DNA sequence: GCCAACGTTGGC
DNA sequence: GCCAACGTTGGC
């Protein structure tokens, strides 16, 4: 079982949007970064847990927990010319981009702001707080997960 | 809106 | 295969 953190801009897709989806589940489309894709494709397993993180907003923060509920499969948006995620160089025989489905597990009543993550020395080596870390999907160690969830 | 840090692109 | 130019991310 692995732990992750996935970023989303709440203006584009927030945890409340996820909460309103059928089955509170969403196909995590639009990831167009090879490192992030590789983690979904090669390492994510059904049952993995992930923090849902709001980025590029007033209070960047971990706002809840989601769970991986599918294996990786081809991101349909790469084949859709009307999608902003369309990739003309990707073919159905050899799709370039993959995704997984995430299901809402819990929306925090108390969010964990980036500022308090940064203020905790035990969390200093989290990828999230490393300088220049822009990955939209990153791994979280079990230890960090426990600290952040208070378990 | 600024800007640092990255990733990608494309000419050579 | 190098690397400058460009685009994007995302905190502040």
CA separation, residue A12 to residues A17, A54, A56, A101, A125 (Å):
9, 10, 10, 17, 28
pTM of the predicted structure, to 2 decimals: 0.94
Write out the two tokens for A59.
């209070």
| pLDDT value of position A27 | 97
Confidence of residue A113 (pLDDT cuts 50, 70, 90): very high
Q: Nucleotide C11: nearest residue by CA–C1'?
A: A56
What are the two backbone dihedrals, phi and then psi, of residue A140, each rounded to the nearest 5 degrees? Answer: -125, 135
CATH number belonging to domain A3-70+101-149: 3.10.590.10
Write the pLDDT tens digit of every residue in A69-99.
Answer: 999 999 999 999 888 899 988 888 889 999 9
Measured between alpha carbons, how far is A2 from A11 in angstroms, rounded to an integer?
28
Protein residue ranges contacting nucleic strand B, Cβ under 7 Å: A 33-35, 130-134
Write the pLDDT tens digit of every residue in A13-47.
Answer: 999 999 999 999 999 999 999 999 999 999 999 99
**Closest nucleotide over all strands to A114 (CA to C1'):** C11
């Amino acid at each position: 079982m692995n732990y992750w953190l996935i970023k989303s801009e709440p203006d584009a897709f927030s945890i409340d949007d996820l909460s309103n989806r059928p089955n509170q589940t969403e196909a995590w489309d639009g990831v167009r970064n090879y490192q992030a894709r590789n983690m979904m494709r090669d390492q994510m397993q059904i049952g993995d847990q992930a923090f849902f993180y709001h980025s590029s907003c007033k209070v960047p923060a971990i706002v809840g927990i989601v769970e991986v509920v599918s294996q990786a499969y081809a991101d349909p948006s790469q084949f859709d010319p009307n999608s902003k995620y369309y990739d003309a160089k990707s073919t159905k025989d050899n799709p370039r981009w993959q995704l997984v489905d995430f299901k809402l597990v819990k929306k925090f009543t108390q969010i964990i702001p980036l500022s308090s993550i940064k203020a905790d020395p035990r969390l200093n080596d989290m990828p999230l707080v490393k300088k220049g870390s822009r990955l939209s999907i990153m791994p979280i160690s079990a230890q960090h997960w426990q600290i952040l969830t208070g378990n």
